[in-house]
């Protein structure tokens, strides 16, 4: 069974590398280097302002440690059909899961070490810690992560004590208690507690090989893990295996029902329902808009706010573009007695609507924050109007006709 | 002539799946398209509904090819696919609205028609649900409802019976009969031969990308006197003949 896993792992890694290559293209690597450099610089300057005994420092340390603990789930690489095909091998699944555990440890523990490394100067500036305690801190983080992964593995089985499948208790509450002990008392105690915690878990869960695999949960866990991986890649490139989930959102019917039911509006009807109900699309729109507004609340001036608003509008529009092809695989689109010429017009109308909503929200925020700066107010109105018009009526049709050729 | 396929050669890529297909469907006629898996039934259908472009040959619906006028060509067709295809973002009600919108149907009349169909298929209380979450049979009923909402002259139905409950099969057959009476034509591909035998006026037997024969049941019985009486027996006999022909041909090589 461990061979099955290593086979899957190699094809999984090939796929990941393919995506990583797309994500880390030359421009992005350059931007990332600047970003890391910039952040490192700000971090080092920020550190100088800190001193021992700042009240919020231990809280930040604890939160960082607990959040870090959540990074890196158990990668079982299970697939939907496994429920049928691996069922006869159920008793041997332990070996499979153990192999996946070892692989997940590499990733999960590397992240712990990396964050620990970044945390060292912060912890040293804000508290009296000697070298040994810093190492105890690392060991605490590693043991807690191991326990976290053990529990993630145990979840895949129907356990004697079902409480171990509870994620809130074992992923947050207990680790938080141990981390807080470390932060406020000392890391030797935290380390001892984490080791005891690990041993207790191992003993109480016991031997998994005799237990029944909870296939439905195991597969849905893995699907949700892969979904987050793909969603990340989807920010940079088009991921075909990513299928968004759909929400009814009845409260939006008021808006949706405004579409007049005439043949020319067929695509308008499809696109409006599609974007508003598709979690991927609507989520992206809402996230980027909210993020943009948050940025703009804190930034005053002339160039920066206008630049940021323009950037976010471009980003939103760009991410919505692939939705043009969302329905192309549906045979009925090709069967309906409608001509394709309204597809572009309908799509432009939708994009215009969405970008205008964002544009108005951004403009209101900027006007509110820079109420005493008429230059900024004038600039944002002119720049946004021009950008949205150019994006919708010049950039979008070109980009899409390029996309049609590539399909 | 509702549908006329002449010397159709076609397929998905360079290699033709259909080598030479010719048959027709007359007004008010129900023609069964019969053949083994991979014989070319669905490919033929995909050519008729305009998803694929013929390499050569013509397809005419009431004397009109797709290149004459795409819109009015498609306006005449209603299609029920083999596996139901639904929009995952749209509710059942919105699927019906989509159909009314795309075919430019009169809202009031169509809703009257729709309500009757929904009641027939016991879907009337599911208008606000997503068909994407329905069972296969229920999604198939959505497809049937949408197709019979239109005023199409030509219904193209690809293997409609699988997954439908017996009641729905019966209702579908009576819907077909109703439309036939009004002069619409139906081309139906199916493997359920005993149903086909009872309802189809004529059969087109496709094998390996060519029309093996095109005849009524009575004519088929005359052509294959030794085979037996039912369409099933005749079809099995024919498939066996083809197989032994192929084997002798392979032997000669």
Among B87, B91, B97, B151, the residue to mutate for chain A (most A Cβ within 10 A)? B87
Q: Is A266 on the interface with B (CB under 8 A)?
A: yes
Shortest distance, CA A377 to any CA of chain B (angstroms): 39
Q: Is the pLDDT of residue A383 over 80?
A: yes
CA angle A156, A158, A162 (to 5 degrees): 100
pLDDT reported for residue A243? 64
Q: Is the pLDDT of residue A231 over 90?
A: no
Q: Is the pLDDT of residue A407 over 90?
A: no
H or E element, residue A403 = helix A396-406
Phi, psi of B210, rounded to the nearest 5 degrees: -130, 155
Among B48, B88, B89, the residue to mutate for chain A (most A Cβ within 10 A)? B89
pLDDT bin (cut points 50, 70, 90) of residue B5 is very high
Which residues of A fall within a CB distance of 8 Å from B81?
Answer: 331
d(CA A205, CA A210): 12
CB pairs under 8 A between A and B: 72
Q: Is the pLDDT of residue A269 over 80?
A: yes
Percent of chain B with pLDDT over 90: 72
pLDDT bin (cut points 50, 70, 90) of residue A21 is confident
pLDDT bin (cut points 50, 70, 90) of residue A238 is low
> Which residue in the set A246, A277, A336 is minimally distant from B102, CB to CB?
A336
- Where does A94-173 show beta strands of DSSP type E? none
Contact across the interface for B72 and A337, Cβ inside 8 Å: yes
Residues B14-37 have pLDDT tens digits of 888 999 999 999 999 999 999 988
pLDDT reported for residue A69? 94
How many CA atoms lie less than 13 Å away from A245 in the CB half-sphere?
8
pLDDT reported for residue B251? 66
DSSP B117-155: HHHHTT-TT-TTS-GGGS-HHHHHHHHHHHHTTS--SEE
d(CA A383, CA A381): 6
Shortest distance, CA B218 to any CA of chain A (angstroms): 35
Tell me what ipTM this predicted complex has: 0.88
Q: Is the pLDDT of residue B253 over 60?
A: no
Shortest distance, CA B102 to any CA of chain A (angstroms): 5
> Which residue in the set B85, B89, B132 is minimally distant from A331, CB to CB?
B85
Residues B174-201 have pLDDT tens digits of 999 999 999 999 999 999 999 999 999 9
pLDDT reported for residue B252? 63
More confident residue, B104 or B248: B104
CATH class of B1-76+153-166+188-253: alpha beta
Phi, psi of B202, rounded to the nearest 5 degrees: -150, 160
Structure tokens at A376: 């900024």
Shortest distance, CA B228 to any CA of chain A (angstroms): 40
Q: What is the mean pLDDT of residues A197-204?
A: 93
pLDDT reported for residue B91? 94
Shortest distance, CA A321 to any CA of chain B (angstroms): 18
Query: Where along chain B do its domains lie?
Result: 1-76+153-166+188-253, 84-151
Q: What is the mean pLDDT of residues A161-179?
A: 90
Q: Is the pLDDT of residue B204 over 90?
A: yes
Among B47, B102, B108, B157, the residue to mutate for chain A (most A Cβ within 10 A)? B102
Least confident of A34-38, A158-162, A239-243: A239-243
Q: What is the mean pLDDT of residues B148-162?
A: 93
């Amino acid at each position: 069974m461990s061979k099955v896993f290593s086979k899957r792992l190699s094809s999984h890694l090939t796929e990941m590398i393919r995506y990583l290559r797309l994500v880390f293209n030359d421009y992005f690597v350059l931007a990332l280097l600047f970003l890391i450099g910039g952040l490192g610089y700000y971090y080092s300057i920020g550190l100088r302002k800190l001193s021992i005994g700042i009240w919020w420092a231990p809280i930040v340390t604890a939160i960082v440690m607990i959040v870090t603990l959540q990074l890196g789930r158990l990668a079982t690489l299970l697939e939907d059909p496994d429920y049928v095909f691996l069922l006869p091998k159920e008793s041997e699944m332990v070996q499979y899961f153990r192999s996946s555990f070892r692989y997940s440890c590499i990733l999960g523990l590397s992240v712990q070490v990396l964050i620990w490394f970044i945390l060292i100067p912060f912890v040293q500036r804000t508290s009296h810690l000697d070298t040994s305690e810093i190492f105890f801190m690392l060991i605490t983080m590693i043991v807690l992560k191991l326990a976290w992964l053990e529990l993630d593995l145990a979840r895949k089985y129907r356990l004697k004590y079902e409480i171990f499948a509870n994620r809130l208790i074992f992923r947050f509450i207990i680790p938080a208690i141990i981390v807080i002990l470390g932060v406020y008392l000392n890391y030797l105690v935290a380390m001892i507690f984490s080791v005891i915690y690990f041993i207790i878990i191992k003993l109480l869960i016991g031997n998994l090989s005799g237990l029944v695999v909870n296939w439905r949960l195991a597969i849905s866990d893995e699907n949700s893990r892969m979904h987050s991986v793909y969603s990340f890649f989807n920010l940079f490139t088009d991921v075909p295996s990513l299928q968004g989930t759909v929400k009814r959102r009845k409260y939006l019917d008021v808006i949706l029902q405004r579409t007049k039911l005439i043949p020319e509006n067929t695509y308008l009807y499809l696109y409006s329902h599609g974007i508003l109900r598709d979690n991927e699309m609507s989520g992206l729109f809402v996230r980027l808009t909210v993020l943009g507004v948050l940025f703009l609340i804190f930034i005053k001036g002339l160039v920066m706010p206008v630049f940021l608003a323009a950037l976010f509008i471009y980003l939103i529009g760009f991410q919505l573009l692939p939705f043009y092809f969302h329905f192309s695989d549906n045979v009925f689109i090709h069967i309906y007695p409608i001509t394709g010429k309204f597809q572009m017009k309908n799509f432009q109308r939708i994009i215009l609507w969405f970008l205008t909503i964002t544009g108005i929200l951004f403009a209101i925020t900027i006007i509110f924050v820079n109420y005493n700066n008429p230059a900024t107010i004038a600039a944002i109105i002119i720049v946004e109007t021009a950008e949205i018009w150019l994006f919708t009526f010049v950039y979008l049709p070109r980009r899409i006709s390029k996309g049609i050729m590539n399909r | 002539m509702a549908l006329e396929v002449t010397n159709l050669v076609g397929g998905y890529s360079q290699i033709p799946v259909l080598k030479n297909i010719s048959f027709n469907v007359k007004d008010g006629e129900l023609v069964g398209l019969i053949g083994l898996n991979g014989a070319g039934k669905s490919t033929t259908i995909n050519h008729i509904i305009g998803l694929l472009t013929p390499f050569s040959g013509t397809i005419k619906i009431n004397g009109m090819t797709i290149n004459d006028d795409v819109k009015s060509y498609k306006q005449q067709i209603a299609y029920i696919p083999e596996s139901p295809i639904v929009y995952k973002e749209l509710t059942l009600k919105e699927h019906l609205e989509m159909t009314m919108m795309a075919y430019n149907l009169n809202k009031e009349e169509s809703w009257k028609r729709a309500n009757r169909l929904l009641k027939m298929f016991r879907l009337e209380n599911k208008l606000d649900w997503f068909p994407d979450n329905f069972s296969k049979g229920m999604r198939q009923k959505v497809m049937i409802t949408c197709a019979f909402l239109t005023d199409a002259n030509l219904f193209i139905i690809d293997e409609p019976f699988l997954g439908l409950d017996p009641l729905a099969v019966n209702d579908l057959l009576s819907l077909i009969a109703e439309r036939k009476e009004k002069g619409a034509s139906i081309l139906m591909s199916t493997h359920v031969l005993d149903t086909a035998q009872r309802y189809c006026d004529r059969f087109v037997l496709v094998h390996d990308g060519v029309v093996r024969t095109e005849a009524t049941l009575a004519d088929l019985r005359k052509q294959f006197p030794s085979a037996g009486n039912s369409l099933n027996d005749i079809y099995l006999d024919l498939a066996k003949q083809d197989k032994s022909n192929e084997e002798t041909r392979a032997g000669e090589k």
